[in-house]
């Protein structure tokens, strides 16, 4: 059976590699692939790709009053509203929880190929009972988007969630993740 985690299957033993092993392996690569390098890598769109993860630069309207925020979100759009959209920003979760959320989301895949043709058919209503999403649900205003959107296809999601490219302001990733754990 094919699944979203095929890129990280140990081909010798056929078992899913440990999340900690994968995080360390991706960290080695990520040192050479920062946010700007990622944005130059292609698949850029003027709007976020529905059913896929998206990287982009963002300057929040309420940044003066927010306790912290991410200027380079990794978001799965789940709804729209006049002037913007709602999305799940995976950066608000620790790496292992990001991985678990991806496992949950594969139930909503449009097909079992888990390739560039696959999309995640999920809305807030279908996901609202998954406790892991609570700290990730964010509203984004079109006027505050500062770049195009880099589309991350389903077959690349397992890699993207482990890239340490979050850019939090006013707090460390560890503080953000600690707060998120308390809210799950």
Tell me, yes or no, whether 105 lies in a domain. yes
Tell me, yes or no, whether 138 lies in a domain. yes
What pLDDT shows up at residue 6? 52
Tell me the residue range of the domain where 60 lies.
6-183
Tell me, yes or no, whether 1 lies in a domain. no
Contact 87, 133 (CB under 8 A): no
> Exposed, middle or buried: residue 44 (CB in 10 Å: 0-12, 13-18, 19+)?
middle
Count of the separate structural domains present in the chain: 1
What pLDDT shows up at residue 84? 98
Mean pLDDT of 155-171: 93
- Reported pTM: 0.84
State the alpha helices, DSSP H only, in 44-172: 95-105, 124-127, 154-160
pLDDT digit string, tens, across residues 68-83: 999 999 999 999 999 9
What pLDDT shows up at residue 8? 47
pLDDT digit string, tens, across residues 92-142: 999 999 999 999 999 999 999 988 899 999 999 999 999 999 999 999 999
Minimal CA–CA distance to 149: which of 11, 47, 8, 74? 47
Taking CA 145 as the corner, what is the angle to CA 140 and CA 147, rounded to the nearest 5 degrees? 140
What pLDDT shows up at residue 96? 94
Q: Determine the Cα–Cα distance for residues 68 and 157; give it in Å rounded to an integer.
A: 25
What pLDDT shows up at residue 173? 98
Question: Who contacts 164 (Cβ-Cβ below 8 Å, separation ≥6)?
Answer: 26, 27, 30
What pLDDT shows up at residue 34? 75
Residue 157 — pLDDT band, cuts 50, 70, 90? Answer: very high
Tell me, yes or no, whether 99 lies in a domain. yes
Question: Who contacts 157 (Cβ-Cβ below 8 Å, separation ≥6)?
Answer: 4, 52, 53, 102
pLDDT digit string, tens, across residues 11-40: 444 444 445 544 554 454 455 567 777 777
């Amino acid at each position: 059976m094919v699944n979203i985690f095929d890129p990280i299957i140990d081909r010798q033993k056929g078992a899913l590699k440990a999340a900690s092993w994968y995080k360390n392996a991706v960290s080695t690569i990520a040192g050479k692939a920062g946010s700007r390098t990622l944005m130059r890598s292609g698949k850029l769109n003027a709007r976020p790709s529905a059913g896929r993860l998206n990287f982009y630069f963002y300057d929040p309207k309420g940044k003066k009053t927010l306790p912290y925020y991410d200027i380079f979100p990794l978001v799965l759009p789940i709804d729209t509203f006049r002037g913007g959209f709602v999305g799940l920003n995976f950066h608000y979760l620790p790496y292992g929880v990001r991985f678990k959320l991806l496992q949950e989301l594969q139930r909503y895949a449009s097909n079992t190929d888990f390739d560039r043709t696959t999309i995640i058919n999920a809305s807030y209503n279908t996901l609202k009972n998954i406790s892991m999403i609570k700290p990730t649900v964010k509203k984004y205003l079109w006027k505050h988007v500062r770049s195009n959107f880099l589309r991350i296809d389903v077959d690349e999601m397992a890699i993207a969630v482990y890239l340490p490219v979050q850019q939090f302001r006013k707090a460390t990733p560890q503080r953000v993740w600690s707060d998120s754990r308390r809210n799950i």
